[in-house]
Structures are given as structure tokens and as C-alpha cells.
């Protein structure tokens, strides 16, 4: 009996060739989470798959599960949003690649998470629309860490418990996942120094709804501090280098930002 087909809304995370005509596709869907499927004849398709199964694309897929387990069968793909700019603008491609790498690192096969799915779409939409890419990445990573259960501790020192205040100096410990005061940092708990403004920014970014993040104000210095801390935190959480970050760094600090609202 043929397997029953189903439909999902999905973001393409990775593709690779399989034989002469087929394509292996890793995607993240709202309904079924991360999955890996095979699109038979995709490289020769003139109708079902042509220019659709591209990295970062947001699709409507028709699929079915194999009887004995294994790769999902991808029967058809309808394109919602191609996010073409992310594949033609190298700095934005690099930034979107960091977004994608964190998704691949954090999500297990079959793991569904609506919060992470909507966060990923928010990030891809923003990058494709030309919004400040590094500022957007900063906000994405903060919300991403929170969504996977590693919300940064930004209210008090992890070690001594002293509350955050503008009159005290704090650093972000990537080993502990939160702030340490200057006294504790000097006593063997080092971290990336954060200004009071950077701490307030991170606190606000974790509390505001996604559609209200445009209210935040960032400076270049705040963005640099926060991204350094969040990069180190990600390397510690996943116990490996974030490979796409080297590509991100190769484009430098090109965000087009000055002090002022984040135009999102």
C-alpha cells in the first residue's frame, strides 16, 4: 500500500547530489521539524523542482515517509519565498549561513520547534529585505539560545549574585552563560566585557516580541561586544568552531549602522 502523502511548510537548510539525477535535501518544517529527504529526478526536473530546492528557500513540500524508515520522499515543491538576495549578496549569504549552521547544530532529526522555526523565518526575511545584517544576527542568536534552553543570565553575577547596575562593570562568561562582575572576573572567571548599554540591549532583546525589536537602538561598539560574546558562547555550547563565522568575519564590520534605531 503506498505511503500517505502529507504537506509541510519548510526552509531548505542543505542539499547535496545523489547520483546523476537525484538530490538529498535537509529541511526544517513547521509541522515535522528537521528532516532529510530525497527528491528523485530533481536535477533533471523541468516542472516539479526547477529552481526551487535551493538553500534558504521557503517552500511548500509534498512528502511521504518510506515504509521501513530512512529518507523522506519529496514529491513536489511549491516556492513561497526564494530569498534570492541571500544567494547573490555575499555578506548576506555569509550571515544567513551562520543562521543555518546554528539550526543544523541544534536540531535533531524529527525535532519540531515552532519558536525556532518562526525565528529562523524572521531572520531570513530581515536579511533578504536588506536590514542591518550583523545587528539582526546578534538579535537572532540571543533569541536562539533562549529557545534551545540556554538563555543568557543577564540580571546578576553568576558567581556572587550581585545585581546588575550601571555603576558596576560586568563581563559575559561564555563558559557560564551569563554575566560575571569585575571582582569575580579578576578572581578567575573571565569573560567578554560588556558595557551597561550592551547589557540593557541584550536584556531588552530577550523580552520584546519579534515584531517590536525595531525599537532597539544599537551602536557599532555595542554590536561588536555582543557578537563577540555570543560567538564564544555558541562555540562553547556546541563544543566546536562555528565554521561559517570565518566567512562572516571576512566581510568585516559592514552593517551600515550608526547609533540609532534598528531599521527592521
Q: What percent of the chain has pLDDT over 70?
A: 95
Q: Are 222 and 177 in the same domain?
A: yes
Domain range holding 29? Answer: 5-82
Asked if residues 205 and 213 have their Cβ atoms less than 8 Å apart, the reply is yes
Q: Residue 130 is placed in which grid cell?
A: 536588506
Determine the Cα angle at 197 with ends 144 and 211, to 5°: 45
Q: Are 67 and 100 in the same domain?
A: no
Backbone φ and ψ for 133, nearest 5 degrees, come out as -70, -40
pLDDT score for 261:
37
* CA neighbours closer than 13 Å in the CB half-sphere of residue 106: 26
Task: Give per-residue pLDDT as tens, 31-54.
Answer: 999 999 999 988 887 677 888 999
Strand partners, 10: 29, 59
Q: Are 129 and 221 in the same domain?
A: yes
What 3-state DSSP class applies to 54?
Answer: coil
Confidence of residue 155 (pLDDT cuts 50, 70, 90): very high
Q: Where do we find the cell 560575571?
A: 180
Asked if residues 44 and 8 have their Cβ atoms less than 8 Å apart, the reply is no
> Is 70 exceeded by the pLDDT of residue 238?
yes
Q: How many domains does one find in the chain?
A: 2
Q: Where do we find the cell 550608526?
A: 258
Tell me what the mean pLDDT of segment 61-80 comes to: 91
Task: Give per-residue pLDDT as tens, 201-217.
Answer: 999 999 999 999 888 98
Q: Which of 82, 113, 142 is a domain's end point?
A: 82
pLDDT score for 46:
67
Q: Are 50 and 94 in the same domain?
A: no
Percentages helix, strand, coil for the chain (3-state, rounded to 5) are 40, 25, 35
Task: Give per-residue pLDDT as tens, 91-100.
Answer: 999 999 999 9
Q: Which of 50, 82, 114 is a domain's end point?
A: 82
Q: Are 104 and 40 in the same domain?
A: no
What distance in Å separates the CA atoms of residue 134 and residue 81, rounded to the nearest whole number?
A: 22
pLDDT score for 219:
92
Q: Are 75 and 96 in the same domain?
A: no
Q: Are 26 and 100 in the same domain?
A: no
What distance in Å separates the CA atoms of residue 12 and residue 65, rounded to the nearest whole number?
A: 18
203's CB contacts (< 8 A; 6+ apart) are 154, 155
Q: What percent of the chain has pLDDT over 90?
A: 80
> Is 90 exceeded by the pLDDT of residue 156?
yes
- Rounded to the nearest 10 degrees, the angle between the axes of helix 133-147 and helix 114-128 is 180
Counting Cβ atoms within 10 Å, is residue 235 exposed (0-12), middle (13-18) or buried (19+)?
middle
What 3-state DSSP class applies to 13?
Answer: strand
pLDDT score for 1:
41
What separation in angstroms does the CA of 232 have from each of 9, 112, 117?
Answer: 32, 26, 23
Q: What is the DSSP letter of 36?
A: E
What distance in Å separates the CA atoms of residue 115 and residue 135, rounded to the nearest whole number?
A: 20
> Is 50 exceeded by the pLDDT of residue 182?
yes
Q: Are 71 and 108 in the same domain?
A: no
Question: What CATH number does residue 114 fall under?
Answer: 1.20.1440.120
pTM of the model: 0.92
Q: Are 63 and 31 in the same domain?
A: yes
- Report which secondary-structure segment, H or E, holds 184: helix 182-186
Task: Give per-residue pLDDT as tens, 107-150.
Answer: 999 999 999 999 999 999 999 999 999 999 999 999 999 999 99
Amino acid at each position: 500500500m503506498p505511503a500517505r502523502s502529507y504537506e509541510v511548510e519548510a526552509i531548505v537548510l542543505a542539499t547535496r547530489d545523489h547520483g546523476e539525477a537525484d538530490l538529498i535535501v535537509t529541511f526544517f518544517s513547521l509541522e515535522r521539524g528537521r528532516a532529510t529527504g530525497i527528491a528523485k529526478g530533481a536535477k533533471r526536473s523541468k516542472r516539479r523542482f526547477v529552481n526551487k530546492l535551493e538553500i534558504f528557500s521557503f517552500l511548500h513540500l509534498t512528502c511521504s515517509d518510506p515504509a521501513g524508515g530512512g529518507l523522506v520522499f519529496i514529491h513536489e515543491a511549491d516556492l513561497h519565498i526564494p530569498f534570492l538576495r541571500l544567494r547573490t549578496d555575499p555578506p548576506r549569504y555569509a550571515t544567513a549561513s551562520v543562521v543555518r549552521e546554528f539550526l543544523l547544530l541544534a536540531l535533531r532529526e524529527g525535532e519540531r520547534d515552532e519558536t525556532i522555526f518562526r525565528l529562523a523565518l524572521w531572520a531570513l526575511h530581515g536579511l533578504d529585505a536588506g536590514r542591518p545584517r550583523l545587528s539582526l544576527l546578534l538579535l537572532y542568536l540571543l533569541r536562539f539560545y533562549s529557545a534551545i534552553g540556554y538563555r543568557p543570565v543577564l540580571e546578576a553575577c553568576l558567581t556572587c549574585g550581585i545585581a546588575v547596575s550601571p555603576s558596576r562593570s560586568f563581563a559575559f562568561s561564555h563558559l557560564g552563560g551569563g554575566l560575571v562582575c569585575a571582582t569575580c572576573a579578576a578572581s578567575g572567571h573571565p569573560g567578554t566585557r560588556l558595557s551597561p548599554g550592551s547589557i540593557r540591549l541584550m536584556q531588552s532583546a530577550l523580552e520584546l516580541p519579534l515584531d517590536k525589536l525595531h525599537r532597539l537602538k544599537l551602536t557599532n561598539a555595542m554590536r561588536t561586544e555582543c557578537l563577540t560574546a555570543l560567538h564564544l558562547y555558541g562555540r562553547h555550547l556546541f563544543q566546536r568552531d562555528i565554521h561559517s563565522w570565518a566567512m562572516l568575519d571576512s566581510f568585516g564590520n559592514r552593517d551600515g549602522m550608526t547609533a540609532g534605531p534598528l531599521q527592521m
